[in-house]
Amino acid sequence: MHDVVRVINLVKYYPKKKKPAVDNLTFGVRLGECFGLLGVNGAGKTTTFNMLTTAIHPTSGSIQIADCDITENSGLSSHNLIGYCPQFDALLPQLTGYETLQLFARIHGYPEKVIPSLANYLIDRLSLRPHAHKPVLTYSGGNLRKISTAVATIGRPQVLLLDEPTSGMDPGAKRCLWEVIKALQRDGCSVVLTTHSMEECEVLCNRLAIMMNGQFQCFGTVPHLKQRFGEGYIIDVDLCHEKLNPLDLFPKTSQYSVLDIVGKKCSLEARGEVSLSSIFKQLLVLQSTGKITTFGVRQISLDTVFVNFVRNYEKENGEDDDNEVLEENEASSGDWEHAVEF
């Protein structure tokens, strides 16, 4: 399948830094695909996103969007291919939501006669009708994210870049926005997403990558990553007595570890070759002997996979919390002379 986005050998160094913020990154995003970019703070995500939007220039390498090399051609013609929802809302506070959408529709060159209907369509699609004629400065964080996403979709971009689009949203608003993003994918729009919500990745992403120290250390579909790094189950139990040690309830092996315990409620992780049938057998025995009252077993979540991967990576590479964080935020200084305004 044709890659709409091609990132080839992308490198970014910041002044006075020995290590690159982005180190020889290569990947592609297919037509209608949602590609998730995950990583701890300082991993290189923000720098990568800033290069995708042409806000900063790479030290070397190239980015192609719909066969247009945006590292060579960062003019308005390449921006017409991209819709961008930044991490921090860049809106005019005195304008209403309706006026904001009209303004950006005019900037994109829509005929005047279709602009009102386009603005109303986006307002209804993102459930913003009660707030449409209120100034943006009165909006909640969730509604600001909705307007920013709506602005990003104006112009029918081939590629939609979403930087934590559901930050600050309530669960209902998140699901509303997810449906909009999935509809855009069905229409052939390719999406690149950064988020701290593993649930969001599971809902939207066809493939994702975990970034550490400027490189992709893990790449694949959600089921592949779960199978590779999250083999096992999460066990939730209600203990009969708070003084019970949860690890005493199971065979003495390294396959079981306690994830969380609050009062009598406990969550454990069962990893490795342990079978689901053996887990249930043990839990039924514990329940019948009065050591636990209730229990539940579920697959390891993507959130647990991410935490496990980061923990194992840092252990294998001898890293600790005092490691130097890559200066991604230097994109806001020193390199902005190359930025192109939308």
Please tell me the number of Cα atoms within 13 Å of 149 on its side-chain side. Answer: 31
Q: What percent of the chain has pLDDT over 70?
A: 89
pLDDT surpasses 70 at 340? no
pLDDT surpasses 90 at 113? yes
As a whole number, mean pLDDT of residues 7-22 equals 92
| Alpha-helix residue ranges (DSSP H) falling in the chain | 45-52, 76-79, 97-107, 115-125, 141-153, 171-186, 198-204, 222-229, 276-288, 302-316
Backbone angles phi, psi at 232, to 5 degrees: 135, -165
Amino acid at residue number 102: Q
Averaged pLDDT of the chain:
84
The CATH number given to 232-299 is: 3.30.70
pLDDT surpasses 50 at 15? yes
pLDDT at 322: 39
Residue 334 confidence class, pLDDT cut points 50, 70, 90: very low
pLDDT at 337: 35
pLDDT at 205: 94
pLDDT at 80: 74
pLDDT at 94: 93
In this predicted model, what pLDDT tens digit does every residue of 123-165 receive, in sequence order? 999 899 999 999 999 999 889 999 999 999 998 899 999 998 9
pLDDT at 2: 80
In this predicted model, what pLDDT tens digit does every residue of 227-281 receive, in sequence order? 777 677 889 999 988 778 887 888 776 678 887 888 889 988 887 777 888 889 9
pLDDT at 46: 87
pLDDT surpasses 80 at 39? yes
Q: Give the residue with greater pLDDT, 253 vs 105.
A: 105
In this predicted model, what pLDDT tens digit does every residue of 289-313 receive, in sequence order? 989 999 999 877 787 777 777 777 7
Considering only CA atoms, which of 154, 221, 214 is closest in space to residue 189?
A: 154
Buried b / exposed e across 174-206, counting CB within 10 Å, b at 16+?
A: bebbbebbeebbeeebbbbbbbebbebbbbbbb
The CATH class given to the 3-224+320-338 domain equals alpha beta
In this predicted model, what pLDDT tens digit does every residue of 77-102 receive, in sequence order? 566 788 999 888 889 999 999 999 99
As a whole number, mean pLDDT of residues 214-237 equals 83
- Say what the alpha-carbon torsion angle 260, 263, 264, 265 is, to the nearest 10 degrees: -30
**Which residues are bridge partners to 275 per DSSP?**
none
pLDDT at 12: 95
Residue 70 confidence class, pLDDT cut points 50, 70, 90: confident
Query: Any idea where the domains of the chain sit in the sequence?
Result: 3-224+320-338, 232-299
As a whole number, mean pLDDT of residues 33-39 equals 92
Buried b / exposed e across 72-85, counting CB within 10 Å, b at 16+?
A: eebeeebbbbbbbb
